[in-house]
């Protein structure tokens, strides 16, 4: 499949995620914070950060493959 189509689906899936999931994921992936720093910044536990990152990666992977959520 064309790369631009996969990226468009992934971008749409990312925007559809709850704001909190996007910000936590962004802190880890884009701001390069570790899970402990991310948990402190967002007032949650490290386990919640781990779960959120996993949830976002699963959603993006499904979108890339064209799977339904």
Give per-residue pLDDT as tens, 37-53. 999 999 999 999 999 99
For position 68, what pLDDT does the model report?
Answer: 63
pLDDT greater than 90 at residue 19: yes
What does the DSSP 8-state code read for residue 31? S
Structure pTM? 0.88
What does the DSSP 8-state code read for residue 39? H
User: What average pLDDT does range 61-68 have in this prediction?
Assistant: 87
Rounded Cα gap, residues 10 and 69, in angstroms:
12
How much is the mean pLDDT over the chain?
A: 94
pLDDT greater than 60 at residue 69: no
């Amino acid at each position: 499949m064309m790369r631009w189509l996969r990226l468009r689906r992934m971008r749409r899936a990312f925007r559809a995620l709850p704001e909190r999931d996007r910000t936590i994921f962004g802190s880890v992936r884009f701001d390069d914070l570790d899970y402990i720093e991310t948990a402190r910044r967002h007032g949650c536990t490290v386990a919640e950060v781990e779960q959120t990152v996993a949830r976002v990666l699963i959603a993006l992977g499904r979108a890339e493959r064209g799977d339904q959520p």
